Amino acid sequence: MVKKIIHDPIFLAQKSDPATEKDAHIITDLIDTLKANEKDCVGMAANMIGEKKSIIAINVGMGQLVMINPQIVSKSKPFMTTEGCLSLAGEPKETRRYFEIEVEYLDRDFKSQKQKYTGWSAQIIQHEIDHCNGILI
Ligand SMILES: [Zn+2]
């Protein structure tokens, strides 16, 4: 189901709880809402649709990559960039990102995964994981 995007900075500043298999319905809503906003948005965290659970979804090519309880386990090649956010009004803000990251997460089937990402997808993943930690750009 497509959900409303949360803009409340106090809600968004709270750290999300780890997700369990009971939260699987949130994944469907997150993907539906990401698809409905794909013109303005390349990734979304569950708290942006009002669910304080550590789940993110990212547009990749023809589909969506879902990460449950994602953790960045290594990062390298920092750089400064500007980013916008669907939950925040106003101009894009400058922030520090890493060009290469390695992420541990559970996939949609709650199977453990470890994967390296670089460039644009790495940047989106960092933005969405920040959301899970209550961090806004
Ligand atoms: Zn955002």
Residue 128 bears catalytic tag: yes
Neighbours of ion ligand 1 (CB under 5 A): 85
What is the domain range of residue 122?
Answer: 9-132
| Residues 6 or more apart whose Cβ sits within 8 Å of residue 101 | 72, 74, 75, 76, 116, 117, 118, 122, 125, 126
pLDDT digits (tens, 9 = 90+) for 16-32: 999 999 999 999 999 99
100 touches 120 (CB < 8 A): no
The CA 79 to ligand 1 mean position distance, Å, reads: 18
Assess if residue 3 is contained within a domain: no
Number of domains in the chain: 1
* Average pLDDT over all residues of the chain: 95
- pLDDT band for 62, please (50, 70, 90 cuts): confident
At which residue do the structure tokens 């809402």 appear?
Answer: 33
- The domain spanning residue 19 has which CATH number? 3.90.45.10
78 Cβ neighbours under 8 A, 6+ residues apart: 96, 97, 98, 99
Q: State the distance from the centre of ligand 1 to the C-alpha of 135, rounded, in angstroms.
A: 9
What is the CA(126)–ligand 1 centre distance, in A? 10
In a domain, 13, yes or no: yes
Q: What is the average per-residue pLDDT within 55-78?
A: 95
DSSP bridge partners of 72: 103
**The model's pTM:** 0.95
| For residues 3-27, average pLDDT | 97
Residue 2 placed within a domain: no
Residue 83 CA to ligand 1 center (angstroms) comes to 8
Q: What pLDDT score does 90 carry?
A: 80
